[in-house]
Amino acid sequence: MSSQVRLRLLPSTRCLFDEPVQLKVAGLRSRQVVTIRATSTDEREVVFGSSATYRADDGGEVDLNRDPSLNGSYVGVQPMGLLQSLKADTLHKYFFKNKALNPHVVKFSVHEQEGDGRMLAEETNERFLMGDGVSRDPIKEGNIRGVLFTPPGEGPFPAVLDLGTFMSEKRACLLANKGFLVLSTAVFNDRQNMKEIHLDPFKEAVDFLRHHPKVGPAGSKGVGVISRSKGTDIALSLAAFVPGVQAVVWINGTSASVGTPLYYKKQQILSPLMFDFSKVITTKSGANLIKYAIEDPLEEKNKGSLVPIERAKSQFLFVAAEDDLNWDSKAYMDEMVERLTRHGKENFETVFYPGAGHLLEPPYGPFCSSALHGMLSFSVVWGGEPRKIQEFLRTHLSCDDAQTKANL
């Protein structure tokens, strides 16, 4: 390494997962061309990498907030492009960072363009999921299996149930950093239980949050539910069938119970909306396009799969991505808005992200365009280009003593 070249991460080498850092290089020759690389290893020991080429200014400095990448994993001015473009050498790999206790560690390095690409400087960025004072407690109570994240302080805090298709702690602890008490749980706690789903354990989770001592009297108003993909039909069903759900954030989901029947109090309440696998399209990369393989929930034979959200008293925030290739989230959102409007309801807001894909996730994580589908056991394309929620939850789950500034 060159003792003269310095790579700095500002304001610090340590930050929260959803916070930006500024990369600056100093001590280069005037107009020198260098390559900046990033590498990171996920929880499955898969190595991800990215790189971009920059030309220093007359003073021998590169500032990623100012300067454009000339080529590499991306081009143009993208201050966090090295993080967002991290990619594995193997196709269809999703960056697994789902456990809250360990930081997302990224190594940045600066290399000469000439010769063997000698490394000139390096620095490590530790990106923490849990903020200072947030507590993490595994919950195994009754039929509840999950992890509870509690902000520092006595509360009362607005309470949120975070429903993932499979277990992930990432979104839940990031919300806890913003002042929410969040219970993270999964629709599928194991891959063997995919033939039917029961709503009862999720009702237990709602009741657990409502009666938590740090939620306090605010729990009588109700809790929030945030979900994406398969978790959305469970979230909608909680709003429709279970008391105590005040606000629902629906992200790239459906309006029906997809793939599995739904039971409540030992009775089937929704029939499954099924896939027509003859309509799956295999792409050149080997991943499958399944967007057009799901049956139409509005067909007469499938109407028993529709979640009756018109009976819900909850507030809804529907978030859909234009380029969702897993299923047509925008069409499902439009159908629900039409149905609620037809029933005289005004209890909803909508957000539409042009160019985004199925995996809408917290900012500054590696973008994933295709990966193994957990329910279907083959690789699928998610769509999207690398690229309100707190404000909505805070509005409808307000606790006067727990107001903190939203930054999303």
For 194-217, how does the pLDDT look when each residue is reduced to its tens digit (9 = 90+)? 678 999 999 999 999 999 999 976
Residues 123 and 141 in one domain: no
Kindly state whether residue 321 falls inside one of the protein's structural domains: yes
Cis peptide before 11 (omega within 30 of 0): yes
Which residue's structure tokens are 């509840």? 144
Using the predicted structure, report yes or no on whether residue 262 has a pLDDT greater than 50. yes
Domain boundary among 128, 151, 181: 128
Is 227 labeled as catalytic in the residue annotation?
no
Lowest mean pLDDT among 73-77, 284-288, 323-327: 284-288
**For residue 65, with 0-12 CB atoms within 10 Å meaning exposed, 13-18 middle and 19 or more buried, which class applies?**
middle
Residues 55 and 171 in one domain: no
Kindly state whether residue 319 falls inside one of the protein's structural domains: yes
Amino acid sitting at position 87: K
Is 229 labeled as catalytic in the residue annotation?
yes
pTM: 0.80
Domain boundary among 128, 149, 165: 128
Kindly state whether residue 68 falls inside one of the protein's structural domains: yes
Options 314, 324, 329, 379, the catalytic residue = 324
Which pLDDT does position 289 carry in this prediction? 63
**Distant-in-sequence, close-in-space partners of 212: CB < 8 Å, separation ≥ 6:** 159, 181, 219
Kindly state whether residue 404 falls inside one of the protein's structural domains: no
Comparing C-alpha atoms, which of 199, 317, 221 is closest to residue 266? 199
Kindly state whether residue 1 falls inside one of the protein's structural domains: no
The average pLDDT across 259-286 equals 83
Options 229, 255, 257, 305, the catalytic residue = 229
Q: How many structural domains comprise the chain? A: 2
Residues 201 and 205: their CA atoms lie apart, in Å, by 6
Using the predicted structure, report yes or no on whether residue 380 has a pLDDT greater than 70. no
Residues 228 and 345: their CA atoms lie apart, in Å, by 23
Kindly state whether residue 224 falls inside one of the protein's structural domains: yes
Residues 266 and 317 in one domain: yes
Residues 190 and 282 in one domain: yes
Which pLDDT does position 327 carry in this prediction? 78
Residues 41 and 158 in one domain: no
pLDDT tens track for 129-169: 899 999 999 999 999 999 999 999 988 999 999 998 888 88
Which pLDDT does position 170 carry in this prediction? 85
> In which region does residue 123 sit, left (phi positive, over 0), alpha (psi from -120 to 50) or beta (all else)?
beta
Which pLDDT does position 193 carry in this prediction? 59
Which pLDDT does position 94 carry in this prediction? 63
Residues 48 and 81 in one domain: yes
CATH of residue 299: 3.40.50.1820
Q: Give Cα separations from 120 to 14, 22, 52, 109, 384 (angstroms).
A: 22, 18, 15, 7, 35
**Distant-in-sequence, close-in-space partners of 128: CB < 8 Å, separation ≥ 6:** 14, 15, 16, 17, 103, 104
Residues 334 and 197 in one domain: yes
Residues 123 and 161 in one domain: no
Which pLDDT does position 89 carry in this prediction? 78
Contact between residue 167 and residue 185 where contact means Cβ atoms under 8 Å apart: yes
Kindly state whether residue 21 falls inside one of the protein's structural domains: yes
Domain boundary among 102, 128, 154: 128
Residues 65 and 149 in one domain: no
Kindly state whether residue 335 falls inside one of the protein's structural domains: yes
**pLDDT, mean over the chain:** 84
Residues 165 and 16 in one domain: no
The average pLDDT across 49-72 equals 96
CATH of residue 80: 2.60.40.2240
**Distant-in-sequence, close-in-space partners of 232: CB < 8 Å, separation ≥ 6:** 250, 251, 252, 253, 254
Provide the 10 A C-beta neighbour count for residue 122.
14
The average pLDDT across 44-54 equals 92
294: confidence class by pLDDT, cuts 50, 70, 90 = confident
Residues 57 and 104 in one domain: yes
Residues 93 and 28 in one domain: yes
Cis peptide before 156 (omega within 30 of 0): yes
Rounded to 5 degrees, φ, ψ at 36 are: -105, 130
Domain that holds residue 162: 135-399
Comparing C-alpha atoms, which of 392, 328, 384, 389 is closest to residue 359? 384
Say how far residue 172 (Cα) sits from the centre of its chain. 10
